[in-house]
Amino acid sequence: MLATYRQGPEGGTPLLIVHGLFGSARNWGAVARRLARDRLVLTVDMRNHGDSFRDPDHGYEDMAGDLARVIERNGDSADVLGHSMGGKAAMVLALTRPELVDRLIVGDIAPVAYSHTQLHLVQAMQELDLTGLTRRSEADSKLARIVPDSGTRAFLLQSLDLKSSPARWKLNLDVLSAEMDGILGWPDIDSRFDGPALFLTGENSDYFRQEYRPETKRLFPRARFARIRGAGHWLHADKPREFEAAAASFLVR
């Protein structure tokens, strides 16, 4: 089972929140707490991330299977919100196990294969000398030589465990590197999800382009689209209140 964290009142349909590549459940702390005011919210660490298990396989069918087990452990079905890699895993879950997904929210990702790569970030983390590190600011200074963007560094460093002796990444970097092509890709799935689906994108992100809409509508006929102004790819971190409001509005029954 994935490491799973619960908050909010028990009963009713839970909301399952699924983080993206290099993330963890803790990235969603503030948004999850606010959405949990009147419902049960489950956040998870995906396989090879955070405190969840390590596995040599990191395909979307595998990740969707992990999410299915979490839902089955906590009820009959769930609303599912996934971002980036987690959004793809959530889409695959909805397409392959539609009976488990009531409403689907996908954050800034489309059901297509992408041509960019994140291998440079994996390599940057692998090359960072963790010897003797005790403060995140020290790690940030060292990582800045390889990763110039401060926002990206701050995100990656959330997965650095400085309480461990020695310090370690809470990511299975070797597997994520080996599986990167599949993470950026999209499995060949001949099915569709007929439930309500909301695709939220960041105004300043190019992850979801206009030309991706026809394929998205083919797989998710009831898809709705909304753009959050001033947000980039990590739209829930850039504009958390706006993201929360859009998600909450869509989830109202």
Question: Angle 136-143/150-157 helices, nearest 10 degrees?
Answer: 130
Which pLDDT score, from 0 to 100, does residue 67 have?
98
How high is the pLDDT of residue 11?
87
| pLDDT tens digits for range 35-47 | 999 999 999 999 9
Give the residue numbers spanning the domain of 145: 119-177
Q: Are residues 128 and 163 in the same domain?
A: yes
Q: How many domains does the chain have?
A: 2
Last residue of a domain, one of 127, 149, 177: 177
**One domain, residues 79 and 197:** yes
**Which residue, of 177, 203, 224, is where some domain finishes?**
177
Count other Cβ atoms within 10 Å, centred on residue 1: 10
- Can you list the residues of the chain whose pLDDT is less than 50? none
- 12 with 100, same domain: the answer is yes
- Verify that 124 and 91 share a domain, yes or no: no
pLDDT value of position 165: 86
Same domain, 216 and 235: yes
Same domain, 192 and 241: yes
Residue 23 sits in the same domain as residue 84: yes
Closest CA to 18 of 77, 66, 76, 51: 66
Same domain, 91 and 206: yes
CA distance 113 to 187: 8
Residues near 101 by beta carbon (within 8 Å), at least 6 away in sequence: 77, 78, 79, 80, 90, 93, 94, 193, 195
pLDDT of residue 253: 77
Whether residue 170 is found in the same domain as residue 208: no
pLDDT at 137: 94
Shared-domain flag, residues 128 and 105: no
* Residues designated as active site: 84, 174, 233
Asked if 102 and 206 sit in the same domain, the reply is yes
CATH, residue 218: 3.40.50.1820
pLDDT digits (tens, 9 = 90+) for 100-131: 999 999 999 999 999 989 999 999 999 999 99
Same-domain status, 85 and 197:
yes
Instruction: Answer with the one of 156, 177, 198 that is the final residue of a domain.
Output: 177
> 218 and 243 in contact (C-beta within 8 Å)?
no
